[in-house]
Amino acid sequence: MANELKIRCTNNRKKISLPFGSNLYDAYELSGLEMPFAPVCARVNNKVEGMSYRFYNNKDVEFISLQSDTGMRVYVRTLFFVLAKAVEDLFPNAQLFMGVPISGGFFCGLILERDTPPVPIPPAIVARIKERMQEIVDADMPIHYIQSPTEEAIELFMQRGMQSKVCLLESQESLYTTYYKLDNSIDFFYGCLLVRTGLLHLFDLVPLSDGLLLRIPKVKNPNELQEATSQTKMLDVIREHLQWQHILGVRTVGEFNAAVQAGYASDLINVSEALQEKKLSDIVDEVIRRQARLVLIAGPSSSGKTTTAKRIATLLMACGVRPRILSTDDYFVNRVDTPKDANGEYDFECIEAVDTDFFNQQMSALLRGEEVELPRYDFPTGERVFEGRRLRIGAEDVIILEGNHALNPILTRQIPNSQKFRIYVSALTTVQLDDHNHIPTDDIRLLRRIIRDYRYRGYSAFDTIKRAPSVKAGEEKWILPYQEQADATFNSALLYELGVIRTQVLPILEQVPERVPEYAEAYRLRKFIHYFRPVPGDQVPPTSLLREFAGGSSFRY
């Protein structure tokens, strides 16, 4: 046939013949695949596309189910749209803000009367919004993907009072833009959505503090909701960050870009750094007040633990306290004793990879005022060595320890709690893309890691992206469960940092070849970082946490 296309399904290596203009659903019907959860999107030539995507050329296709991080992102974005429509239908004058992941879902701010202070939402109103969401889902409404000239999209959003989207689109340079239409509601989303509301088989909506908690399914078992864990300390961080945004007058990327365009980039840098310094100073004051002897700092990869430890050490010295920084890496068991994972590889992420007995023995001795000989773990040989490096600390000295397991009670089980101060560090929240598009903090840390690995460890963006799933799995098992046990939580994200990172990370991401599956993530990150106007990095202070990744730090690593 003259208009027949050839599609290669990489899931099962099957070659499919399709008429010109067929969509992904047509290809799936002929693929012979049987996914437990129907595909929610697909990688087309290693770019993620919604299932309404149509073929006009030969392509490679990999169908993606809900049981993946990519698939769940599509599901959650669609839930956001349905929630936004439900609120719009019931409370036309309300403001809805999609928030950060927390407590097995997403915290969303809701103000029923525009431009009024947030107050707790009555449970009856939350129940009515949830009911309206379910009505939209049960109606199985189609979700239309629309491309239009950017100025026309801006006019549409302006007519509906969606100012954050107007501000975002006005700060871009694209001739055309895309948005979605659901019944009489329109919205812009960063990434594709499901094609029908009836595919949203499971969700919940409950009150949380002065907002809503939108609960979502588990990735591994989408027939169950994620556990609704209590994260009161995380909520405190969210509130604190909202105050910082108010101080800076920057809540969304559109507002950020407008500030940069108006010449206020240096002000954003200076105030952001000052706010972080104040937070660290408050933490140090609390360490001194409690007379803690062991400061434990933990957080996921690329959260800035090392710089946080060094800045806390500097602030302690300024208060007349002598800090001693140690690393849990030096307390690894010998490699022959390191546990192995299910694939037979050494599992350096698990707590058993650390000699916790020896660690507790040495920490207890140091806190009693005894002298010990510190070990060094020799990574090339995989053995612990002693080189005569001895340490004795004074009665008021403080040991600072940063590492993946620093908040795990097993690590310091022999140290009295009264002597410990635990700090959880991560890039927890930053600006939103707009009111209905949150920026995943995992993306911020991944971009940091891509730059750091490229500059200092000789890894390409391909290498870093390929390892990301295993890094995330280790974090979810060994770090995140202990974050609520911290005495203090430090948000290491800087409101301006993605503007600085943009210039450095784009050339690295562009090196990922299109032929590899990792290209999909590299392409997504490139598209995301392009939303930010570039910010020159020469005004970033040498002590900034960002310098740990971007280079030019006055600290030695």
Question: CB neighbours of 337 closer than 8 A, spacing ≥ 6?
Answer: none
Q: How far apart are CA 432 and CA 251, in angstroms?
A: 6
Asked whether residue 231 carries a pLDDT value surpassing 90, the answer given is no
What is the per-residue pLDDT for 168?
Answer: 95
Q: How far apart are CA 196 and CA 135, in angstroms?
A: 13
Q: Are strands 398-402 and 294-298 parallel, antiparallel or unpaired?
A: parallel
| HSE-up (13 A, CA, CB side) for residue 295 | 34
Q: How far apart are CA 315 and CA 321, in angstroms?
A: 9
* Cβ 461 vs Cβ 468: under 8 Å: no
Q: How confident is the model at residue 244 (pLDDT cuts 50, 70, 90)?
A: confident
SS (H, E, C) 98-141: EEEEECCEEEEEEECCCCCCCCCCCHHHHHHHHHHHHHHHHCCC
Q: How far apart are CA 72 and CA 84, in angstroms?
A: 18
Q: Give the residue among 503, 527, 523, 521 at the shortest CA–CA distance from 190.
A: 527
Buried (b) or exposed (e) across 68-100, using 16+ Cβ within 10 A? bebbbbbbbbbbbbbbbbbbbbebeebbbbbbb
User: CA Rg, the chain, in Å?
Assistant: 25
Q: Give the residue among 267, 234, 268 at the shortest CA–CA distance from 253.
A: 268
Q: Which tokens in the block code for residue 177?
A: 């833009």
Q: Which tokens in the block code for residue 503?
A: 């210039």
Please give the DSSP secondary-structure letter assigned to residue 175: S
CATH of domain 234-550: 3.40.50.300
Q: How far apart are CA 118 and CA 110, in angstroms?
A: 7
What is the per-residue pLDDT for 2?
Answer: 55
Domain boundaries, the chain: 4-65, 70-230, 234-550
Question: CB neighbours of 257 closer than 8 A, spacing ≥ 6?
Answer: 167, 168, 171, 531, 532, 533
Q: How far apart are CA 75 and CA 88, in angstroms?
A: 20
Q: How confident is the model at residue 445 (pLDDT cuts 50, 70, 90)?
A: very high
Q: How far apart are CA 447 and CA 147, in angstroms?
A: 29
Q: What is the mean pLDDT of the chain?
A: 93
Q: What is the CATH topology of the domain spanning 70-230? A: Threonyl-tRNA Synthetase; Chain A, domain 2 (3.30.980)
Q: What is the pLDDT of residues 87-133, one digit of tens each?
A: 999 999 999 998 788 888 999 999 998 877 778 899 999 999 999 99
One-letter amino acid for residue 318 of the chain: A
Q: How far apart are CA 320 and CA 394, in angstroms?
A: 12
SS3 content of the chain, % helix, strand, coil (to 5): 40, 20, 35
Q: Which segment of 50-54, 241-245, 289-293, 527-531 scores lowest on mean pLDDT?
A: 241-245
Question: CB neighbours of 414 closer than 8 A, spacing ≥ 6?
Answer: 360, 361, 363, 364
What is the per-residue pLDDT for 23?
Answer: 95
Superfamily (CATH H level) for 4-65? Beta-grasp domain (3.10.20.30)
515 CB burial (10 A radius; 0-12, 13-18, 19+): exposed
Mean pLDDT of 187-193: 94
Q: Which segment of 251-255, 332-336, 339-343 scores lowest on mean pLDDT?
A: 339-343
Q: What is the pLDDT of residues 449-500, one digit of tens each?
A: 999 999 998 999 999 999 999 889 889 999 999 999 999 999 999 999 999 9
Q: How confident is the model at residue 68 (pLDDT cuts 50, 70, 90)?
A: very high
Q: How far apart are CA 157 and CA 71, in angstroms?
A: 27
Q: How far apart are CA 38 and CA 200, in angstroms?
A: 12
Phi-psi category of residue 49: left, alpha or beta, with phi > 0 → left and psi -120 to 50 → alpha: beta
Q: What is the pLDDT of residues 125-163, one digit of tens each?
A: 999 999 999 999 999 999 999 999 999 999 999 999 999
Q: Which tokens in the block code for residue 485?
A: 């046990």
Q: Using alpha carbons, list the distances in angstroms from residue 228 to 162, 214, 309.
A: 31, 10, 31
Q: How confident is the model at residue 193 (pLDDT cuts 50, 70, 90)?
A: very high
Please give the DSSP secondary-structure letter assigned to residue 546: T
Buried (b) or exposed (e) across 133-143, using 16+ Cβ within 10 A? bbebbeeebeb
Entry pTM? 0.91
Q: What is the pLDDT of residues 365-423, one digit of tens each?
A: 999 999 999 999 998 899 999 999 999 999 889 999 998 899 999 999 999 999 999 99
